[in-house]
Amino acid sequence: MPSKIEKKQAAAKLRKPPRDFSYTQNRELSWLRFDNRVLDEAFDESVPLFERLKFVSIFESNLDEFLMVRVGGLSDLAELKKQPVDNKSNMTASEQVDAVMAEMPGLLTRWESIFKSIEGKLDTLGVHRARVDSLTPEERTFVTRYFQAYVSPVISPLVIDPRHPFPNLRNGALYLACGLDGVTDEESLLGLIEIPASMNRVVEIPSPTGTYSYILLEDVILACLDSCFGSYKPLDRALIRVTRNADIDPDGEGVEEEEDYRQHMKRILKKRLRLQPVVLAVSGSLEKATLKTIRKALELSRRSVFTCDIPLNLGYVFGIEGKIPEHLRNELLFTPFKPQPNPTIDMTRSIREQVLQHDKLLFYPYEAMNPFLDLVHEAAYDPECISLRITLYRVAKQSRLCESLIDAAENGKEVTVLMELRARFDEQNNIEWAERLEEAGCTVIYGSEGFKCHSKICQLTYREGMALTRLTLLGTGNFNEKTAKLYSDFMLMTAHPGIGEDANLFFRNLSLGNLRGDYRFLGVAPVGLKPLIMRGLDREIQRALAGEPARVFFKLNSLTDREVIDKIAEASCAGVRVDMIIRGISCLKPGVPGKTENVHVRSIVGRFLEHARVYAFGVDSDMIYLSSADMMTRNTEHRVEIAFPVLDPTCRALVHEYMGMQSLEDRKSVV
């Protein structure tokens, strides 16, 4: 029998060593620093002025999603008696929410100040937004007439009193709020008007030739507010906008009996509009009593209320881009960008034949997506093509790709589409496309419960006599015509038999709900992706320990997976040089003596969204994988992702060249 001491020694061996937090940091705070880098683009005077305004809007949009998803989810966890602890910063959920809220005022002050600065400069150039407090007599006449003719018949002013309780304020919607004079001296009421989303938010005002003037719909209502509540007189006024928790787990909600998954997702989307508020944004001035009434109704603390003096929801700026006078466009906007044709592809010849001869690598948005779109369209009408299979995560609203899939099904091809309905904030569009594809005869399947399918893979199968050939198309980004013009991504087009066999097995496993497939060439999460990364890092560690040159290169959106972070630190300690380009979150601190001193991290934020994921091992990058997956636990363990090797020497050299250029980028990178 072992003694007590021996039992304690055995137990100690089984215990995990204490976490080392010296080279890690909190993901939420790292994300806020990323969004601040996005806002830096608005301060960069080398960027055209109106493009800078768009970055101000992107900063706000990013922050909205962060509050809905990350802070919303953490706020739920903060209600638990025993809160989980972040394994990178040792902070509880409530401590993380506190830290985020402490950072918010400074960020929002910076955001508000640069918006005002840019808008002031645009005004002097002839792009003028009319404000309620500075309307000219001509502008006021126009606004009043517009309100009476178009707005007044649509809006529904609401007085909140005991018979009319505080309504549900929809997530992200704009409302005008005001205190109202009651019918007695003691009575004070609250007035609310929802800004109608069905109307154009930007209202053009007649202006001299060569200029553009507009007023926002909410300001039209504000200018005419005194006539909206009958005998009640507005005492104060402001625009308000509630951001609600959107971190809802569709699989955790349960699919009701006799309810298909599409109907389940439609129900989830409606529920998202009514989840718990996270923050309240206020633009304007409200009396303390008015604001307190709103805040209490929403059950929000004072720290969750943010005030500003600029419009809420700056998404409208993209709608006025096309209205900028012609003579100002060159000064205010980027020179229109036209993707170049891929030099290795002849668009006058069959794309299929060219891929059979040689692997092709597309690099969006610098090269056009047309070769891929043409190939799928070509397959839809090719009598030798017998099947098309594809995973879709985010789809363009107007999708030539999906139209080709419909054509293929109508032409008798076997078309299988895995449509991921849980692509956050794109669910409705995906539902609509899934219904259209199914109606056309495509077999539409959905991801496995608890595991989003985030992989980007398409396979075309041809029968030539008795033989089958397969073309496999693998991407780092979505099969989306719109984002292919905005996001920096790779797509590999290959006829490699081994990759083709793996892809065929992958689709078969998906249809059976098997997430534990065994693949020769592909690294497939949730089982096979992280081991692939670990093997690559271990190979370089062994080289370094043997005194050989060793290097690892990663290009990622985010790095949060603790096991991968610890392995990178181990590689650094062994003498491996680790170079990383990480656009967004990095929970690893580089340059920590004795821990990560051989790790070098930079972030690139610019005109196009850096989206490609690259894993390269070896001083000469002799082993390169491209992937849809970031090094986040959600990707490596809780999603279906694919990493695919670049085996063709020409394509591998291109990746090496592209990443080399980005590693030398100084003007748009932060180290």
Task: State phi, psi for 208 to the nearest 5 degrees.
Answer: -60, 155
Mean pLDDT, residues 226-234 taken together: 92
Of the pLDDT bands very low, low, confident and very high (cuts 50, 70, 90), residue 274 is: low
Least confident of 230-239, 374-383, 443-452: 443-452
Taking the mean position of all CA atoms in its chain, how far away is CA 598? Answer: 30
Question: What is the model's pLDDT at position 165?
Answer: 87
Least confident of 61-75, 236-250, 581-595: 236-250
Least confident of 156-165, 550-559, 589-598: 156-165
Q: What is the pLDDT of residues 468-498, one digit of tens each?
A: 999 999 999 999 999 999 999 999 999 999 9
Q: What is the pLDDT of residues 209-220, one digit of tens each?
A: 999 999 999 999
Percent residues over pLDDT 90 in the chain? 80
Q: What is the pLDDT of residues 516-536, one digit of tens each?
A: 899 999 999 999 999 999 999
Question: What is the model's pLDDT at position 7?
Answer: 46
Which residues of 528-668 form beta strands (DSSP E)? 551-556, 577-582, 599-604, 609-610, 613-617, 623-627, 639-645
* CB-neighbour burial class of residue 187 (10 A; exposed 0-12, middle 13-18, buried 19+): exposed
Whether 260 has a pLDDT exceeding 80, the answer reads no
Show the tokens assigned to 414: 């076997």
Question: What is the model's pLDDT at position 181?
Answer: 86
Mean pLDDT, residues 375-392 taken together: 97
- Which of these, 333, 331, 306, 307, lies nearest to 318 by C-alpha position? 333
Mean pLDDT, residues 76-97 taken together: 93
Cα separation of the two ends of the chain:
58
Least confident of 178-192, 232-246, 248-262: 248-262
Question: What is the model's pLDDT at position 132?
Answer: 94
Crossing angle for the helix pair 27-43 and 49-66, nearest 10 degrees?
Answer: 160
Of the pLDDT bands very low, low, confident and very high (cuts 50, 70, 90), residue 465 is: confident
Whether 257 has a pLDDT exceeding 60, the answer reads no
Question: What is the model's pLDDT at position 172?
Answer: 94
Least confident of 99-108, 242-251, 610-619: 242-251
Whether 640 has a pLDDT exceeding 90, the answer reads yes
Show the tokens assigned to 457: 């893979």
Check: CB of residue 383 under 8 Å from CB of residue 416.
Answer: no
Whether 449 has a pLDDT exceeding 90, the answer reads no
Least confident of 79-93, 313-327, 436-450: 436-450
Residue 276 CA to residue 309 CA, distance in Å, equals 25
The highest-confidence range among 179-188, 337-346, 418-427, by mean pLDDT, is 337-346
Whether 569 has a pLDDT exceeding 90, the answer reads yes
* CB-neighbour burial class of residue 1 (10 A; exposed 0-12, middle 13-18, buried 19+): exposed
Question: What is the model's pLDDT at position 268?
Answer: 56
Residue 272 CA to residue 68 CA, distance in Å, equals 10
Of the pLDDT bands very low, low, confident and very high (cuts 50, 70, 90), residue 128 is: very high
Of the pLDDT bands very low, low, confident and very high (cuts 50, 70, 90), residue 420 is: confident
Of the pLDDT bands very low, low, confident and very high (cuts 50, 70, 90), residue 466 is: confident
SS3 letters across 216-281: EHHHHHHHCHHHCCCCCCECCEEEEEEEECCCCCHHHCCCCCCCCHHHHHHHHHHHHCCCCEEEEE
Residue 316 CA to residue 303 CA, distance in Å, equals 27
Active site residues: 454
**Residue 625's beta-bridge partner residues?**
615, 645
- Which of these, 456, 461, 455, lies nearest to 473 by C-alpha position? 456
**Residue 189's beta-bridge partner residues?**
180
Exposure string of 259-281, with b = 16+ CB inside 10 Å and e = fewer, is eebbebbeebbeebeebebbbbb
Residue 372 CB coordination number (10 Å): 22
What's the residue count for the chain?
A: 671
Question: What is the model's pLDDT at position 17?
Answer: 60
Of residues 430 and 289, the one with the higher pLDDT is 289
Residue 654 CA to residue 41 CA, distance in Å, equals 28
Percent residues over pLDDT 70 in the chain? 91
Whether 256 has a pLDDT exceeding 60, the answer reads no
Whether 265 has a pLDDT exceeding 80, the answer reads no
Residue 538 CB coordination number (10 Å): 16
Question: What is the model's pLDDT at position 665?
Answer: 65
Question: What is the model's pLDDT at position 270?
Answer: 59
Mean pLDDT, residues 266-287 taken together: 79
Of the pLDDT bands very low, low, confident and very high (cuts 50, 70, 90), residue 430 is: confident
Question: What is the model's pLDDT at position 275?
Answer: 79
Check: CB of residue 596 under 8 Å from CB of residue 23.
Answer: yes
Q: What is the pLDDT of residues 347-357, one digit of tens each?
A: 999 999 999 99
Whether 259 has a pLDDT exceeding 80, the answer reads no
Mean pLDDT, residues 150-160 taken together: 95
Mean pLDDT, residues 552-565 taken together: 97
Residue 230 CA to residue 210 CA, distance in Å, equals 40
Of the pLDDT bands very low, low, confident and very high (cuts 50, 70, 90), residue 14 is: very low
Of residues 163 and 412, the one with the higher pLDDT is 412
Mean pLDDT, residues 385-396 taken together: 94
Helix (H) or strand (E) holding 306: strand 305-308
CA distances from 552 to 8, 611, 632 (A): 40, 19, 18
Check: CB of residue 312 under 8 Å from CB of residue 239.
Answer: yes
Exposure string of 332-355, with b = 16+ CB inside 10 Å and e = fewer, is beeeeeebeebebbeeeeebbebb
Residue found under tokens 């840019």: 118
Question: What is the model's pLDDT at position 422?
Answer: 72
